[in-house]
Amino acid sequence: MDLEWFKKELTKYSKGEIIINRHATEQAEVRQISLEEVKQNILHPDKLVFVEEQEAKNKGERKYNCYFAYSDNYYHRYIIVLNGKLIIVTIIGINRNWQRAIEGRK
């Protein structure tokens, strides 16, 4: 998937169009990830290093697996659904080399 195209897609959304569902909110709290930081990553996706499209459950939705790198060994992984709004369904903070995590997916 074209990373630059997807970054431009994300910047089309406003802060008010970003919805973080209950599951993702709970995950962020447990992992001590700021929801404001998550929204800023979406609005300003300069940390986005990899995205892959996933199969969406509902017609008219597009679902993406996104990796936002903070360093070589720390990244956020978000599962995002686009359907007119931007819905974050999963938020994960991972302490391991993100490059290896996405290596087989490129």
Structure confidence by residue, pLDDT tens digits, 4-14: 999 999 999 99
Global confidence as pTM: 0.87
| Number of structural domains the chain divides into | 1
Domain residue limits at 96:
3-103
Contact between 30 and 51 under an 8 Å Cβ cutoff? The reply is no
* Burial readout 68-89 (b: 16 or more C-beta within 10 A, e: otherwise): bbeeeeebbbbbbbbeeebbbb
Classified as helix, coil or strand, 14 is: coil
Summarised one tens digit per residue, pLDDT across range 42-53 is 999 999 999 999
